[in-house]
Chains A and B, each alone.
Chain A
Amino acid sequence: MKIRSLLTLGLPRTTGFVIGILISVLQGLSAVALLATSAWLISRASEQPNIVFVSIAVVGVRAFAVGRAAFRYGERMVLHNAAFNLLTTYRPRLLASLIPFAPAAMSRDSRGQAVQRVVSDVDELQNLSLRVISPLVQSVIVSLIAAVFLALLSPAAGFALLVACLLAYMLAVPLATRLAQNSDSGVVIDRATLAERSLELIENAEVLAAYGWAEPALQELSEIEKRLVVKQKRSSITLGIVQGGFVLLGTWATCATAWFGANSVASGAQPGVLLAVFALLPMAVFDVLNGCQAVAQSWQRYRASAGRVLEILDAELPAEVPDEQSIAGVAKSGLSVFEKLEFIDIAARYPGAEQPVLSNLNFEIVAGQRILICGESGVGKSTIANLVLRFLEPSAGKLLFNGRNASDYSIESVRAIVGLIEQQPAIFSGTVRQNLWLAKPGASDDELVAVLQRVGLWSMLESRGGLDLFVGERAVLLSGGEAARLAMARALLAKFELLILDEPTASLDAATAQETLRELMLVAEQARVAVILISHDAAMASLTTSSVVVEKTRVA
């Protein structure tokens, strides 16, 4: 059952894939036929017959030689293309299944893993068809055909080849799987740990260097590397056994078929010209069989990655988070204008958490108002934003928009009207213009410049490239203040009617913070945009019309 879903995940169901498999079988057959025909040609020639008898074989030798190379090329191109087509669909699918979880139900510890998952795991999916299915199918069909062909000449020889091939499969698949299981799954885990730890090292390089903590961190990484090396050595032993085993089986099969062939030649059952074919065919077959030596290892690796991908794809949305996709299907009234937001005895809890972060919260805000929500760090102020934007469902109480239950409106329409500037808003690697287009795709440069002027950012950017300024990865090329202003500009551009500012001035200098906020409030007032300002600083109350103090939730 489990294996079945793993197989369905990575197997392309396209004609391209089937054609690729067919070509690979033809390739294997050409390789075997090349050697068999050559052997026959030489043997027959030594009997010095009329040239006509060998000239067909000569053509065959040349054709098979070209075919072996040409089919190989075709097989690789077609199969890779089929596999990559599959991958291309999985990346967005994975993202799509993660979307409903963000941010409230997202495991916060999955950053390093997310990289590992999406890039490596999805990449790994190609290997089911390329490194497991296709070599297996190719070699099974080719070895069967070769064994049947030999059996027609001498049943004992055909049987010997069949047994050798069967033993090779047993070596390559079940035995190697068992041998590789421990070490290989360990390799995957160690690789993931190494990836995580190295990400931490790269991100914290500055602190590690400044504090002289580099040594232990490097030590830890080298410990992981050592573990990885031990396991890799172990799996190389397995791989070596399989490789050596194949050579052994190949030569012994040669001995057997040569022996049985010689006997049937000596008894006169078969002409002597075929003896070289008896002797050479197993080698050619094992050349093709070599392709499935690493099947077990590839399968192990695939299974680990595919299992993780399935986990993401099949994860169930926790009850605390609204199911955006199924809600989207149900016809709901849209929130077209913001008049009033009410929190009535609201409590909230994050998925998996035992205790609520908020309880018995009451406040309201009407259009045109600007309120301050303050409280100490960790009392759940940011949770309020998650509730209003419907990232999280309240566990108790009522959340009303314009007097009606928030869940009566489509989430889409709520987010069109209600906006948020997070504590650390994401600035995407790209230009200033691209970041602003997030809020209003295709907005004209004039409009963008105007909004940058309103947040006081244009004068800072104008000389550095303006809208075309590249902001760098995680906005490293912008100062903290500039990044915050850019986020504000984005929010203004989206024309929200209710805007939540979650600690927006943390990295701005006091004077500019006041100025920017005041400006924002002014814009809000003019456009009748209501503002919920979340801050740990009660002094911000001077900028708002009223304030709400949130206390820490006491556990009874």
Chain B
Amino acid sequence: MKPLDPRLLREAGAARWFIAGVVALATLGVLSTLVIAWQLTRFVTSVFVSHIAPAEVIDALIWVASAGLVKAGALWLQEVWAARAACASRAELRGKYFAAILKLDVAGRTVEDSTAARHTLANRGLDSLDAYFAKYLPQLVFTALVTPIFVLVIWNVDWLSGVILVATMPLIPLFMVMIGWATRTVQQRQLNSLTRLSQHFIEVLRGLTTLKIFRREWAQVETLAKVGEEYRKRTMKVLSVSFLSGFALELAASLSVALIAVSIGFRLMDGSIALSTGLFILLLAPEAYLPLRMVGANFHAAAEGVQASGAVLDAIAAANHVGTVQADAVGGLEIPQPGKLTVLVGPSGSGKSTQLRRWRATLEPHEVAWMPQQTNLFSATVLTNIVGASDSKIGSFDPVKLERAMRLSALDDLDFDSEVGESGAAISGGQRQRIALARAVYRALARRSRFVLLDEPISSIDASRAQIVVEGLRALAREGFAVCAVSHQDLLAEAADLVIEIGKP
């Protein structure tokens, strides 16, 4: 992770003012700290060295208490604004990522770009970006601003302590950079292994029945223990490096404080400085290192989010280039004629579905009514799945066309308002397919989408209903739609006006 990722900074636009506010408040906090240190020193030296009665210098303590109040208030507001900064940036980025996923077609997915991987990125990954915007970024700006103030103040009061401060301070960023290099690959591995663990778990849960059929379910329990143990070892490895960096930073800071304290002690002994100077510096020295140390601490908290944001920003950038289909990349067969029922046949894996996708890609979206092979449904009612969420909510659909679409799809055994369950899990495969079909048909009827492209519309439908569907599709074609289906069923091929065989030499 770079200290400042320019791509992420651009995304932080929404949060700019909150971040500025956080920095301003933090500076106010530092000023209060200076007041507290100075007044406390005044109180202690007055009583201890000058033997003044405590009641006479009580104004110093009142100063301390008031500065504490200011510091507390600033800190409170700082926390609130930091959260706003994080929320604003994250919400914007997540929205863009979802939009990008919708643009990047399923066809364009790679193996690593699996559902689980996207899901982890969109949720856990982006959530962990909060640390970047809320903590790391403001802290970085604040540190750059405030550290020189501390150095100047301390230098003014006691130049030797100032020298120690200036000499030791660069150790902290130096350690950070070195450690950053060391942890980058481990961090990446950590995210990968987390994704793998979650992927493995989804698979096992989804395939639990299959596992039980082969009596392998208990073996999976053991495998999971092994994978989990592997994950633990990896994570511990990452942590041992991350914590080591924390250790180095803390050691550098606390040894520097010790160095300053001891040097002040010896100089007090030969009387070359006053106690007030020594005490003031002792109070300020840890505070001077604190901002830098916090950058280090937040750096690691932010790293996971930044790691995830890399993939997210890649996806967003990739989506910006999608949408222009190159003509030469399309290739293949000519687009089917309107008014005809065309059926693509051929053995499994011969590229029928690919051909259908190509056609879809060359057409304008509004011209196409599309039914993919994977009939995932939305966990909503049948109606919502057919006409879409927004139209079903406001009741803006054509009941006549809807009725026809359902009749054509032989959807006679489900009501409008039946729930289909998550991804359609509550209904049978045939019912899912018929709902997906009705969706495409309704779309064609309601929006006059001329091209009806169906990938395996009747593969899970029983024979009598399949007959109804085939006749319906023929009728649709006669009305001037270009109905084009990929099918393995003879029934559909026999009814076609045109059969295209794919995969024949």
- Known A216-B389, A377-B462; judge A103-B283 contact (CB<8 A): no
Q: Verify if A416 is at the interface (C-beta below 8 Å from B).
A: yes
**How far is it, in angstroms, between the C-alpha of A296 and the C-alpha of B286 when the chains are bound?**
28
Binary flags per residue of B74-118, CB closer than 8 Å to A gives 1, else 0: 011111101110111001001100110111111001010011101
Q: Verify if B423 is at the interface (C-beta below 8 Å from A).
A: yes
Q: Verify if A102 is at the interface (C-beta below 8 Å from B).
A: yes
Inter-chain contact A212/B366, CB cutoff 8 Å: yes
Inter-chain contact B213/A419, CB cutoff 8 Å: yes
Which residues 79-128 of A sit at the B interface, judged by CB distance below 8 A?
Answer: 80-81, 84-85, 87-89, 91-92, 95-96, 98-99, 102-103, 106, 108-112, 114-115, 118-120
Binary flags per residue of B237-250, CB closer than 8 Å to A gives 1, else 0: 00110011011001
The segment from A144-152, A229-237, A333-341 that touches chain B is: A229-237
Contact partner, B115, options A199, A209, A426, Cβ 8 Å: A199
Residue numbers in A under 8 Å from B206 (CB-CB):
111, 426, 474
Inter-chain contact A376/B101, CB cutoff 8 Å: no
Determine how close the nearest CB of chain A comes to the CB of B366; give it in whole angstroms.
7
- Known A211-B443, A233-B83, A422-B209; judge A536-B266 contact (CB<8 A): no
The segment from B163-171, B173-181, B271-279, B476-484 that touches chain A is: B271-279
Contact partner, B348, options A120, A215, A425, A512, Cβ 8 Å: A512
Pick 10 A–B contacts, CB within 8 A, sort by A.
A57-B265, A206-B105, A209-B103, A218-B99, A218-B102, A233-B87, A255-B65, A272-B49, A377-B462, A512-B348
Contact partner, A244, options B72, B204, B376, Cβ 8 Å: B72
Residue numbers in B under 8 Å from A360 (CB-CB):
none
Which residue of the partner chain B has the closest CB to A233? B83
Which residues 181-222 of B sit at the A interface, judged by CB distance below 8 A?
Answer: 194, 197-199, 201-222
Inter-chain contact B80/A210, CB cutoff 8 Å: no
**How far is it, in angstroms, between the C-alpha of A183 and the C-alpha of B236 when the chains are bound?**
32
**How far is it, in angstroms, between the C-alpha of A57 and the C-alpha of B229 when the chains are bound?**
46
Which residues 228-260 of B sit at the A interface, judged by CB distance below 8 A?
Answer: 228-229, 231-232, 235-236, 239-240, 243-244, 246-247, 250-251, 254-255, 257-258
Contact partner, A58, options B69, B231, B262, B270, Cβ 8 Å: B262
Residue numbers in B under 8 Å from A426 (CB-CB):
203, 206-207, 209-211
| A interface majority secondary structure | helix
**How far is it, in angstroms, between the C-alpha of A75 and the C-alpha of B31 when the chains are bound?**
34
Inter-chain contact A46/B43, CB cutoff 8 Å: no
Q: Verify if B324 is at the interface (C-beta below 8 Å from A).
A: no
Which residue of the partner chain B has the closest CB to A477? B111
Q: Verify if A182 is at the interface (C-beta below 8 Å from B).
A: no
**How far is it, in angstroms, between the C-alpha of A482 and the C-alpha of B225 when the chains are bound?**
31
Inter-chain contact A508/B43, CB cutoff 8 Å: no
Inter-chain contact A473/B199, CB cutoff 8 Å: yes
- Known A91-B225, A426-B210; judge A58-B43 contact (CB<8 A): no
Q: Verify if B73 is at the interface (C-beta below 8 Å from A).
A: yes
Which residues 443-460 of B sit at the A interface, judged by CB distance below 8 A?
Answer: 443, 456, 459-460
Inter-chain contact B123/A191, CB cutoff 8 Å: yes
**How far is it, in angstroms, between the C-alpha of A222 and the C-alpha of B90 when the chains are bound?**
11
Binary flags per residue of A500-514, CB closer than 8 Å to B gives 1, else 0: 000100111110110
**How far is it, in angstroms, between the C-alpha of A80 and the C-alpha of B236 when the chains are bound?**
8
- Known A88-B232, A240-B76, A473-B111; judge A258-B40 contact (CB<8 A): yes
Which residue of the partner chain B has the closest CB to A238? B79
Binary flags per residue of A232-253, CB closer than 8 Å to B gives 1, else 0: 1101110111011101101110
Given A118-B205, A441-B219, 17 more A-B residue pairs with CB atoms under 8 Å apart are A43-B279, A99-B217, A103-B209, A109-B421, A112-B422, A115-B116, A205-B104, A207-B372, A210-B368, A228-B87, A232-B87, A233-B87, A438-B216, A439-B214, A482-B349, A503-B429, A536-B430
Which residue of the partner chain A has the closest CB to B252? A69
Binary flags per residue of A293-309, CB closer than 8 Å to B gives 1, else 0: 00000000000000000
Which residues 43-57 of B sit at the A interface, judged by CB distance below 8 A?
Answer: 43-44, 47-49, 51, 53-54
- Known A68-B254, A95-B220; judge A389-B43 contact (CB<8 A): no
Q: Which 9 A-B pairs have the closest CB atoms?
A: A251-B68, A426-B207, A481-B348, A236-B83, A536-B462, A509-B488, A240-B79, A244-B76, A262-B54
Residue numbers in A under 8 Å from B262 (CB-CB):
41, 58, 61-62
Residue numbers in A under 8 Å from B373 (CB-CB):
480
Residue numbers in B under 8 Å from A229 (CB-CB):
87-88, 91
Which residues 257-296 of A sit at the B interface, judged by CB distance below 8 A?
Answer: 258-259, 262-263, 265-266, 272-273, 275-276, 279-280
Inter-chain contact A240/B47, CB cutoff 8 Å: no
Q: Verify if B379 is at the interface (C-beta below 8 Å from A).
A: yes
Q: Verify if A402 is at the interface (C-beta below 8 Å from B).
A: no
Inter-chain contact B218/A99, CB cutoff 8 Å: yes
Inter-chain contact B102/A42, CB cutoff 8 Å: no
Inter-chain contact A76/B246, CB cutoff 8 Å: yes
Q: Verify if B131 is at the interface (C-beta below 8 Å from A).
A: no
Contact partner, B349, options A62, A244, A245, A479, Cβ 8 Å: A479
Determine how close the nearest CB of chain A comes to the CB of B161; give it in whole angstroms.
12
Determine how close the nearest CB of chain A comes to the CB of B44; give it in whole angstroms.
5
- Known A42-B275, A46-B278, A275-B48; judge A254-B425 contact (CB<8 A): no
**How far is it, in angstroms, between the C-alpha of A262 and the C-alpha of B120 when the chains are bound?**
58
**How far is it, in angstroms, between the C-alpha of A470 and the C-alpha of B378 when the chains are bound?**
29
Inter-chain contact B389/A213, CB cutoff 8 Å: yes
Which residue of the partner chain A has the closest CB to B134? A236
Determine how close the nearest CB of chain B comes to the CB of A286; give it in whole angstroms.
11
Which residue of the partner chain A has the closest CB to B458? A506
Inter-chain contact A216/B48, CB cutoff 8 Å: no
Inter-chain contact B213/A84, CB cutoff 8 Å: no
Which residue of the partner chain B has the closest CB to A460? B349
Q: Verify if A170 is at the interface (C-beta below 8 Å from B).
A: no
Which residue of the partner chain A has the closest CB to B215? A415
**How far is it, in angstroms, between the C-alpha of A510 and the C-alpha of B487 when the chains are bound?**
9
Inter-chain contact A45/B201, CB cutoff 8 Å: no
Which residue of the partner chain B has the closest CB to A421? B213
Residue numbers in A under 8 Å from B421 (CB-CB):
108-109
Inter-chain contact B265/A42, CB cutoff 8 Å: yes
**How far is it, in angstroms, between the C-alpha of A295 and the C-alpha of B240 when the chains are bound?**
24
**How far is it, in angstroms, between the C-alpha of A226 and the C-alpha of B347 when the chains are bound?**
49
Residue numbers in B under 8 Å from A395 (CB-CB):
none
Determine how close the nearest CB of chain A comes to the CB of B381; give it in whole angstroms.
14
Q: Verify if A160 is at the interface (C-beta below 8 Å from B).
A: no
Contact partner, A91, options B122, B202, B224, Cβ 8 Å: B224
- Known A45-B268, A216-B388; judge A248-B69 contact (CB<8 A): yes
Inter-chain contact A77/B240, CB cutoff 8 Å: yes
Inter-chain contact B208/A73, CB cutoff 8 Å: no
**How far is it, in angstroms, between the C-alpha of A236 and the C-alpha of B122 when the chains are bound?**
22
Which residue of the partner chain A has the closest CB to B127? A191
